[in-house]
C-alpha cells in the first residue's frame, strides 16, 4: 500500500517536469551511439583478449585498452596520476596433491578431488579404517588420529568425524556413477582454489578427499562389492596403511581496478561512481574455447566508457558536472565481486562523500521473454529504492524525459529467487550505505557460455540503456542535494 501511494506521488512529480529537457544534456547524451558502442565492444570481446579472466594476459590487454582510452578522452588518473588501482589476489594450487593406491600415485582430479586445507613437507602414512555410514550406531572409538573411509557423509557428519579425531577423511559417494560424471568438472576448481585477498596461511587444517568407490576399495585392499557389503558391519574391513601428500602452492595474482576521474565544480568533494566489471571467465586451457563475455560485462564496460566519453566531451566544452565522477571498471567480479570489495574497503575518495553508484552489468542483450513479446526497449532496474527514496524518482524522471525505456522492477521483489541485488558490484557499495542502481538486461542461454559474442548484441537498445545511465548521472551530479539515505531499515536485507 505504501508503495502504491509513493508511486502515484512520484508520477505526479515526474509528470509535472517531464517536458523540461535540458538541451545540453541531450546534446552530450546523443554522443552515445550504437556505432561507437560496437567499435569498443568489438575490441573488448575479441578473441585477442581471451575472455579477460582475472590476472591473465587477456585481461591485461583489456587494462591497457581502457587506460589508453581514458587518457585519450582527457580524464584524470586518480591513483598518483595513473588509471590503475593495483592489488594482489591469492589462489591456492592443489595440483600436487596425491593418494597412493598401493601401485600408483593418483593425482588430485584423477579419481578423487581434494577439498580441505593443509600443507605437508612429506608423504603421510596413516592407519585407515572403514566406518561405513555415519549413524547413531557408529563406533568412533577406533578412529582417533587415523584415516577414515566413510560412505556419503554430509557436512555435519564430516565435522563429527573430525571432532572424534579423524586425521584424514576419504568420502565415497553412494552414487558412484554420478560422482565420476561430475569429477572432471569439479576437478578444475578443486585443483585451482578460489581467489582470495589473503594467502590462507592461517586457515584451519582439514584433510578431506572425495574418492571413487574403486579407489576407496583399493586403499582398503578389498573389492568394491566387499566394501559396500560391509557398510552395516564396517569392522569386517581391516585397517590399512594409506599414503598421501597434500602440498599447497600459493600463486599471487597481480591485478587492478581501472579508474578514471572527472573533477566537478562547486560540489567536487562529492563523488558519483559509475561502474562495470571488465573481467570475465576466460578460456579453456589451450585457448580453443573462449568465453568472450560480450554481454557479461563487455556491454557494461562499453557503457561506462561511452558515458565517460560524453561527460569528458562536455567538460572539454566547458560544461563540467558540479559533483565529481569516478568511472571504474573493476576486476575479479567473476571470482566473487573481489575488485569492488577491494575498492569499497580501499576507496580512492571518502565513502561518506561517495553519493551514488550506478552499476552496469549486462545491458547488451534482449532476454528471451522480451524477445518473444517484441518489447525490446526495456531494462531491469534493480535496487533503486533500497536506501534512498529519491533515487528511483530521479531515475524515472531521467527515463521519461530522455530515453523512454520500459523500466522493469520485478527483481526488487525481496522474494525473488534470483537475488540479483546481491550478485554484482553495486552490492559492495550498498553495503557501505551508498544508494545504488543496477542496470541489467536479464539472463539468456548464452550467459557464461562461449556463445556470449558481439554478433548477438543489440546495439540500438544498448545505446538507449547507456543514455539512461548518462542522463541519470547528469542529474545526480548536478542537482543541489545528494540523494539522502532515508531507508536504512532496508539494510536488513544486506546479508
Ligand atoms: Zn557480470
CA 437 to ligand 1 center in whole angstroms: 15
Cis amide bond preceding 151, omega within 30: no
Q: Are 362 and 418 within 8 A, CB to CB? A: no
pLDDT of residue 464: 98
**Ranges of each domain in the chain:** 2-88+253-493, 95-247
DSSP bridge pairs for 88: 254
Q: What are the cell numbers at 287?
A: 585457448
CA 447 to ligand 1 center in whole angstroms: 9
CATH class of 95-247: alpha beta
Largest CA distance in the chain: 86
CA 381 to ligand 1 center in whole angstroms: 15
Distance between CA 136 and CA 154 in Å, rounded?
14
| Mean pLDDT of each 10-residue bin along the chain, 495 residues long | 47 57 97 98 98 98 98 98 98 96 94 94 96 92 95 93 96 96 90 89 88 97 96 94 96 97 98 98 93 98 98 98 98 97 98 98 98 97 96 97 97 93 96 97 97 98 98 98 83 44
- What is the model's pTM? 0.87
Q: Which CATH number fits domain 2-88+253-493: 3.40.630.10, 3.30.70.20, 3.30.450.20, 3.65.10.10?
A: 3.40.630.10
CA 425 to ligand 1 center in whole angstroms: 9
CA 296 to ligand 1 center in whole angstroms: 5
CA 337 to ligand 1 center in whole angstroms: 9
CA 298 to ligand 1 center in whole angstroms: 9
pLDDT of residue 7: 55
CB atoms near residue 190 (< 10 Å): 21
- Asked, colleague to colleague, whether 2-88+253-493 and 95-247 share their fold, the answer is no
CA 244 to ligand 1 center in whole angstroms: 39
Residue for cell digits 547507456? 466
Amino acid at each position: 500500500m505504501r508503495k502504491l501511494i509513493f508511486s502515484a506521488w512520484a508520477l505526479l512529480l515526474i509528470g509535472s517536469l517531464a517536458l523540461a529537457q535540458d538541451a545540453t544534456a541531450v546534446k552530450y547524451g546523443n554522443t552515445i551511439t550504437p556505432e561507437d558502442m560496437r567499435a569498443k565492444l568489438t575490441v573488448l570481446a575479441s578473441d585477442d583478449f581471451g575472455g579477460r579472466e582475472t590476472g591473465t594476459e587477456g585481461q591485461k590487454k583489456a587494462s591497457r585498452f581502457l587506460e589508453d582510452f581514458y587518457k585519450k578522452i582527457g580524464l584524470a588518473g586518480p591513483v598518483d596520476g595513473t588509471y590503475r588501482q593495483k592489488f594482489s589476489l591469492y589462489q591456492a594450487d592443489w595440483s600436487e596433491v596425491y593418494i597412493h593406491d598401493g601401485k600408483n600415485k593418483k593425482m588430485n582430479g584423477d579419481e578423487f578431488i581434494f577439498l580441505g586445507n593443509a600443507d605437508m613437507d612429506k608423504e603421510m602414512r596413516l592407519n585407515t579404517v572403514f566406518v561405513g555410514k555415519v549413524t547413531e550406531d557408529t563406533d568412533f572409538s577406533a578412529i582417533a588420529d587415523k584415516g577414515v573411509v566413510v560412505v556419503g557423509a554430509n557436512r555435519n557428519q564430516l565435522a563429527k568425524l573430525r571432532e572424534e579425531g579423524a586425521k584424514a577423511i576419504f568420502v565415497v559417494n553412494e552414487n558412484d556413477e554420478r560422482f565420476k560424471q561430475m569429477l572432471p568438472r569439479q576437478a578444475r576448481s578443486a585443483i585451482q582454489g578460489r581467489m582470495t585477498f589473503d594467502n590462507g596461511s592461517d586457515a584451519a587444517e582439514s584433510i578431506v578427499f572425495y574418492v571413487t568407490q574403486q579407489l576407496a576399495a583399493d586403499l582398503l585392499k578389498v573389492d568394491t562389492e566387499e566394501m559396500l557389503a560391509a557398510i552395516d558391519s564396517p569392522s569386517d574391513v581391516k585397517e590399512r596403511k594409506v599414503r598421501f601428500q597434500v602440498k599447497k602452492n600459493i600463486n599471487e595474482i597481480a591485478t587492478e581496478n581501472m579508474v578514471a576521474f572527472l573533477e566537478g565544480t562547486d560540489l567536487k568533494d562529492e563523488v558519483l561512481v559509475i561502474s562495470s566489471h571488465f573481467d570475465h571467465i576466460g578460456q579453456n586451457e589451450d585457448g580453443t574455447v573462449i568465453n568472450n563475455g560480450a554481454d557479461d560485462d563487455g556491454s557494461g564496460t562499453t557503457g561506462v566508457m561511452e558515458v565517460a566519453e560524453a561527460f569528458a566531451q562536455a567538460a572539454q566544452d566547458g560544461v563540467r558536472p558540479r559533483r565529481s565522477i569516478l568511472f571504474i571498471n573493476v576486476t575479479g567480479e567473476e571470482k566473487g565481486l573481489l575488485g569492488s570489495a577491494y575498492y569499497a574497503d580501499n576507496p580512492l575518495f571518502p565513502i561518506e562523500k561517495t553519493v551514488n553508484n550506478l552499476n552496469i552489468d549486462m545491458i547488451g542483450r534482449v532476454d528471451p521473454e522480451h524477445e518473444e513479446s517484441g518489447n525490446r526497449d526495456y531494462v531491469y532496474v534493480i535496487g533503486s529504492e533500497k536506501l534512498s527514496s529519491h533515487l528511483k524518482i530521479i531515475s524515472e524522471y531521467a527515463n521519461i524525459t530522455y530515453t523512454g525505456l520500459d523500466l522493469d522492477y520485478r527483481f526488487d521483489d525481496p522474494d525473488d529467487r534470483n537475488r540479483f541485488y546481491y550478485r554484482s558490484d553495486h552490492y559492495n557499495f550498498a553495503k557501505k550505505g551508498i544508494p545504488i542502481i543496477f542496470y541489467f538486461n536479464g539472463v539468456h542461454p548464452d550467459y557464461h557460455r562461449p556463445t556470449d559474442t558481439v554478433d548477438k548484441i543489440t546495439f540500438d537498445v544498448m545505446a538507449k540503456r547507456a543514455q539512461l545511465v548518462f542522463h541519470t548521472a547528469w542529474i545526480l551530479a548536478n542537482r543541489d542535494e545528494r540523494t539522502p539515505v532515508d531507508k536504512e531499515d532496508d539494510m536488513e536485507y544486506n546479508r
